């Protein structure tokens, strides 16, 4: 008697640009480990307005059953908000989507970035170990920054959001008025970073990613706040310029690989209903010669 083989899952990632993404390795390793036939493809979609028609087209493919799950990355985490049929409470509160799935013919936008960030942050700063100050500095005000601010404010942190465009930082802050922590918007600049204080710095913007590995989102001429921990959502290279400089200054620092793995694992569990093999997923990206 032949064993019933489930139909293959068609999964993927939308964003721009995607050539350095580790997501296919993570999800293909998980699918193989769990014996689930399927694929995980990259779908590069340009920023709006150029990419608008492509976004509509790929989401229509999901509604038609051609795709079974999508991850969303820069710059579309907020662009897809009006295009899905409903949002989970977390995605609604964050104001950004990084995972999409189909439920009873309706597209649901979810956010696993928040839980992924919190799980990895607790490895860098164990709960209760930051008694002196719960002030954080978040660099950037995009979709990833929203997930970070969501987590920090619900943990009671006061957050200063620093962005190149002040209005973007103000818009983000305006979405977190009814939370435990306070959010202050500031415009990026040397004078701003020289005076701002915090026991945690979280970078959510691209400087430091290939092909700009030598760039740092925190100006090298500006000293870090004394004793601050540094978390860089950029995960490639393995030791970003920001992480390197922070460690050289004697600070605790981590890149975003742990968050990447955890958010991917949570998305995998949503799509498949199975526990994600986190150790296997980590090995899939740690053993690659291109891991940095």
Q: Could you report the per-residue pLDDT of 20-30, keeping only the tens digit for each?
A: 899 999 999 99
> What pLDDT does residue 96 have?
96
77, 123, 182, 236: which is the annotated catalytic residue? 77
CA distance linking residue 100 with residue 12, whole number of Å: 10
Q: Which CATH class is domain 9-111+260-286?
A: alpha beta
- Say whether pLDDT at 133 is over 90: no
Residue range(s) of every CATH 3.40.50.720 domain in the chain: 126-251
- The overall longest dimension of the chain from CA atoms, in Å, is 72
pLDDT 10s digits, 155-209: 999 999 999 999 999 999 999 988 877 999 999 988 889 999 999 999 999 999 8
> What pLDDT does residue 287 have?
60
| Closest alpha carbon to 169 in 159, 179, 178 | 159
CA distance linking residue 58 with residue 66, whole number of Å: 9
CATH architecture, range 126-251: 3-Layer(aba) Sandwich (3.40)
Is pTM beyond 0.85 here?
A: yes
> What pLDDT does residue 2 have?
52
- Say whether pLDDT at 1 is over 50: no
Q: Is residue 77 annotated as a catalytic residue, yes or no? A: yes
- Say whether pLDDT at 129 is over 80: no
CB under 8 Å, gap of 24 or more: what pairs does 129-133 form?
Answer: 130/199, 130/200, 130/229, 132/199, 132/227, 133/197, 133/198, 133/199
- Say whether pLDDT at 290 is over 60: no
CA distance linking residue 197 with residue 135, whole number of Å: 7
DSSP 2: P
> What pLDDT does residue 245 have?
97
CB neighbours (10 Å) of residue 181?
Answer: 19
- Say whether pLDDT at 104 is over 60: yes
Across the chain, what does the average pLDDT equal? 93
Residue range(s) of every CATH 3.40.50.10860 domain in the chain: 9-111+260-286
């Amino acid at each position: 008697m032949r064993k019933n083989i489930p139909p293959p899952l068609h999964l993927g990632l939308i964003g721009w640009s995607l050539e350095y993404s580790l997501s296919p390795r993570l999800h293909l390793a998980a699918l193989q480990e769990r014996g689930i036939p399927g694929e995980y493809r990259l779908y590069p979609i340009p920023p709006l307005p150029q990419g608008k028609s492509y976004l509509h087209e790929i989401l229509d493919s999901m509604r038609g059953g051609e795709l079974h799950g999508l991850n969303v990355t820069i710059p579309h985490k907020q662009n897809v908000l009006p295009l899905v049929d409903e949002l989970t409470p977390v995605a609604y509160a964050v104001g950004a989507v990084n995972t999409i799935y189909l439920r009873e013919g309706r597209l649901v936008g979810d956010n696993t970035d928040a839980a992924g960030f919190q799980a990895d942050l607790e490895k860098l700063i164990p709960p209760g170990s930051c008694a002196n100050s719960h002030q954080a500095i978040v660099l950037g005000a995009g979709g990833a920054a929203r997930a970070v601010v969501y987590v920090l404010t619900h943990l009671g942190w006061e957050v200063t959001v620093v962005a190149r465009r002040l209005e973007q930082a103000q818009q983000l802050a305006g979405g977190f008025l009814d939370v435990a922590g306070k959010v202050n918007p500031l415009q990026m600049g040397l004078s701003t970073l020289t005076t701002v204080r915090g026991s945690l710095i979280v970078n959510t913007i691209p400087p430091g990613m290939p092909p700009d590995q030598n760039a740092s989102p925190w100006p090298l001429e500006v000293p870090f706040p004394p004793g601050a921990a540094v978390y860089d959502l950029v995960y490639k290279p393995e030791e970003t310029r920001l992480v390197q400089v922070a460690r050289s200054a004697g600070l605790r620092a981590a890149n975003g690989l742990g968050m990447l793995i955890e958010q991917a694992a949570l998305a995998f569990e949503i799509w498949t209903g199975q526990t994600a093999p986190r150790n296997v997923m980590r090995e899939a990206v740690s053993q690659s010669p291109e891991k940095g």
